[in-house]
Homo-oligomer: A and B are copies of this chain.
Amino acid sequence: MLIVKKFGGSSVADKDRIYNVARRCIEDYQAGNDVVVVLSAMGKTTDKLIDLAHSINSHAPKREMDMLLAVGEQISVACMGMAMHELGVPSVSLNAFQVQMHTNSTYGAAKLKRIDTERIRNELAMRKIVIITGFQGVNKFDDVTTLGRGGSDTTAVALAAALHADACEIYTDVDGVYTADPRIVPNARKLPEVSYSEMLEMASLGAKVLHNRSVELAKKYGVQLVVRSSLNYNEGTVVKESAKMEKMIVSGVASDKNVARISVMGVSNEPGIAFKVFNCLAKNKINVDIILQSVGRGGTKDIAFTVAKNDVEATVEVIKENMDVFTAESYEVEEDVAKVSIIGAGMTSNPGVAAKMFEALSTGGINIKMISTSEIRITVVVDAYNADRAVRYIHDAFALAE
């Protein structure tokens, strides 16, 4: 078997954890497998490098920023090579130049284009564990790039695809994907399997186990992922094309408090106004999530939508500048709201799901402020102080702990 194993920054934060990871890799190696390890930067290394950069230039050019940040993973892989050497197992560390991890030139958020697997295959053929820097690449100018958020997961998935790996294991500090956040719902249950689509919906809703980008790449190339903990040997969650849902319609409940509701009120009830609003926001690179438009009364109607909390300021600016264009009478900002969602591949073919969710919220006396649905997700916006209770009521109503 060829196994790609990815460990995040907290899994290699210090000497003990580095040795812990080294031993786990060696177990697979000694069982006769080919092992490729992808590492993030140790602990807070990346944050420290960013602080250093900002101390020198608060608007550091992105090319130089990537040149700087890439050292973080190089430190990790070199240290891992030293640990494996101490444990008597042949290994080799490789950075993005050595692997020829080709990306485009979008510094800070580069997209992987192509990986030359020759060097990796040669090292594996010599029975070495191959330790590769996550998060980084090289562009056509031979310049260093970084992949941005979730970059190391993406590196691991891309390597698994390029090497036709038999397994791609993403190690994190949780055991896998749960039916709900165990900190909110103590009896939340770990899911043995989820589909790519479900994982994507969950990730976008605050279950930050895997970055969407890596899941999308895994889906595209059919790379089956396992999410598991580097701190124990519990079986993780398999993320694959079509997960057996054990006849479950709903696989999980997620909440997201990083949300604000903006209402633009009293706009003229004529065609094209909504277009103007959302076109303006899009031009300013503001991502709008849930949209609600009131039925017009008299000559006016209200348009409400949600944005991420850190986009509120920019959104308000756009609205203020365009009150006339939008024909708006006033606007309102509510920051004390949260999204609560149920996710499940079986949802579309089961019409009673939404009703059951709303019933659960009603039982809890929780008012629904907005509703949005997709093929495999139903989301409601509620007051922020109700979010955790909402998750628990819904988790109970669908008997997800069982």
User: Which B residue sits closest to A58, measured CB to CB?
Assistant: B86
| A interface SS class | helix
| CB of A75 closer than 8 Å to a CB of B | yes
A353–chain B nearest beta-carbon distance, Å: 52
Q: What is the total number of residues of chain A having a CB less than 8 Å from a CB of chain B?
A: 37
Determine if B56 and A15 form an interchain contact, defined as CB atoms under 8 angstroms apart: yes
In the bound assembly, the distance between CA atoms of A112 and B52 in angstroms comes to 31
How many copies, total? 2
Determine if A55 and B15 form an interchain contact, defined as CB atoms under 8 angstroms apart: yes
Q: Chain B residues near A67 (CB, 8 Å)?
A: 74, 77-78, 81, 93, 95
Proximity string of chain A (55-94) to chain B, C-beta cutoff 8 Å, 1 when within and 0 when not:
1110111011101101100110111011101100000110
Q: Chain B residues near A284 (CB, 8 Å)?
A: none
| CB of A305 closer than 8 Å to a CB of B | no
In the bound assembly, the distance between CA atoms of A56 and B12 in angstroms comes to 12
* Interface members, chain A 288-314 (any B CB < 8 Å): none
Given the known interface contacts A97-B97, A143-B98, the answer about A64 and B52 at a Cβ–Cβ threshold of 8 Å is no
In the bound assembly, the distance between CA atoms of A119 and B71 in angstroms comes to 22
* Interface members, chain A 321-363 (any B CB < 8 Å): none
| CB of A124 closer than 8 Å to a CB of B | no
In the bound assembly, the distance between CA atoms of A57 and B18 in angstroms comes to 11
Determine if B78 and A57 form an interchain contact, defined as CB atoms under 8 angstroms apart: no
Determine if A75 and B68 form an interchain contact, defined as CB atoms under 8 angstroms apart: yes
A39–chain B nearest beta-carbon distance, Å: 12
Determine if A56 and B68 form an interchain contact, defined as CB atoms under 8 angstroms apart: no
In the bound assembly, the distance between CA atoms of A57 and B68 in angstroms comes to 25
Proximity string of chain A (85-111) to chain B, C-beta cutoff 8 Å, 1 when within and 0 when not:
110000011010110000000000000
In the bound assembly, the distance between CA atoms of A60 and B70 in angstroms comes to 22
In the bound assembly, the distance between CA atoms of A98 and B75 in angstroms comes to 19
| CB of A366 closer than 8 Å to a CB of B | no
21 A–B contacts from the bound complex (CB under 8 Å): A53-B82, A56-B82, A56-B86, A57-B86, A59-B86, A60-B85, A61-B85, A63-B81, A64-B78, A64-B82, A64-B85, A64-B93, A65-B78, A67-B74, A67-B78, A67-B93, A68-B79, A68-B82, A71-B74, A71-B75, A95-B144
Please give 4 more A-B residue pairs, beta carbons under 8 A apart, in addition to A60-B85, A64-B81, A67-B78.
Answer: A15-B56, A57-B85, A95-B144, A97-B142
